[in-house]
Amino acid sequence: MAKLPKESPVVLIMAGGKGERFWPRSRTNSPKQLQKVYSNKTLLRETIDRALTITSLDRIYIGTNANLKTEILKKDPKFPSTNFILEPEGKNTAPIIALSALYFQKKFGNPNLIVLSADAFIDPIKEFTKTIEQALYETENGMVLLGVKPNRPEVGYGYISTGKPTDVGYTVKAFFEKPDFKTALKYIKKKNFYWNPGIFLFRTETILSELERHAPHILGPLKNGFPFKSFGDLKTAFQMLPSEAIDTAIMEKSNRIRMVEATFNWDDVGSWMSLERILPGDKEKNHHQGKEVLYHKASGNISSVQKELIAFLGVQNLIVVEEPDVLLVTSREGVGDIKAMLSTMRKNKVLQKYLD
């Protein structure tokens, strides 16, 4: 087994998303990663605290845009204001990871880089820490991602199939994009299929080498201009880049991928529906976040409200979310149309203010 690296890893937290499926709590200027969704901490703060179990604060960086940097520092003024990797525009994960790798190579040499998303539920933290420490062994052999053993046929996640065992993990045979329900049922019956939670670990030199090989169209414009003399120069370079995920740009093409099985519970906090898997529920499968709640002949409801009391009478499968200026009431079936509804709201000048 390879030796565990002595130096602390660098952590990049991806926090640039819009979080539209968590409207009305998630808004343009204060998206879900800056909101308290399942605890008394914001999703971003939960992720920072998680990262602090594997490295020091000075080696934790946040990847986001300039507007959100300001909002992040308002909510978390003790976070180092210099520890941001700012992207001029959101272009999925590959461009910002490439930019970050160039920055970390220049600043730290060849550190281990761990990429986390700011919108995950992970419990318990000690198992997260243990899994990451195990996965760091594998970065000497290539790029590493974590895999979560499925406990349900989930159509919203990507899947990984593994091959032969390695020191602490497995080789990766293939990646599979979001399946339909019938296919997902087949996947969860296979012992070597895992969810892909989007947690990556690699040496900086390794990811830059693989970007050079498999995605020169992404690395090239950034490498040619690095270090950028101005944010305007970086903006010009970003305009040349495609919007592409690190999964399709690198992971699905490389033969240097390993997977380590996660020993923690994980969930993508992607929409209000995810609260039924995170919040405790009653015997009628009602899930509530707030003060008092009363259910009478009601089942399958999800609520996140500020009122002293919310009462559900004779209703099923509703989702109710209260903010000071907005009340959202939707069915479980309807919640999938939130993005379409917001698109309609953008066209209405009266309603636009409720998006920001």
Of 92, 30, 28, nearest in space to 63 by CA: 92
262 close to 130: Cβ distance less than 8 angstroms: no
User: What domains are there in the chain, each with its CATH number?
Assistant: 10-267 (3.90.550.10), 272-354 (no CATH)
Which pLDDT score, from 0 to 100, does residue 4 have? 54
pLDDT band, residue 151 (cuts 50/70/90): very high
Q: What is the mean pLDDT of the chain?
A: 95
How many whole angstroms separate alpha carbon 114 and alpha carbon 124?
Answer: 19
Which pLDDT score, from 0 to 100, does residue 1 have? 47
Peptide bond into 124 cis (omega under 30): yes
Instruction: Give the tens place of pLDDT for each residue, 214-238.
Output: 999 999 999 999 999 999 999 999 9
Helix (H) or strand (E) holding 203: strand 200-203
Residue 3 DSSP code: P
CB-facing half-sphere around the CA of 127: CA atoms within 13 A: 13
Residue that the structure tokens 């950028």 belong to: 228
pLDDT band, residue 239 (cuts 50/70/90): very high
> CB burial class (10 A; 0-12, 13-18, 19+) of residue 126?
exposed
Which pLDDT score, from 0 to 100, does residue 5 have? 58
pLDDT of 38 > 90? The answer is no
Which pLDDT score, from 0 to 100, does residue 323 have? 94
How many whole angstroms separate alpha carbon 299 and alpha carbon 16?
Answer: 35
Of 80, 63, 27, 73, nearest in space to 238 by CA: 63
Beta-bridge partner residues of 86: 64
274 close to 267: Cβ distance less than 8 angstroms: yes
pLDDT of 2 > 60? The answer is no
CB-facing half-sphere around the CA of 166: CA atoms within 13 A: 25
How many whole angstroms separate alpha carbon 220 and alpha carbon 225?
Answer: 9
pLDDT of 37 > 90? The answer is no
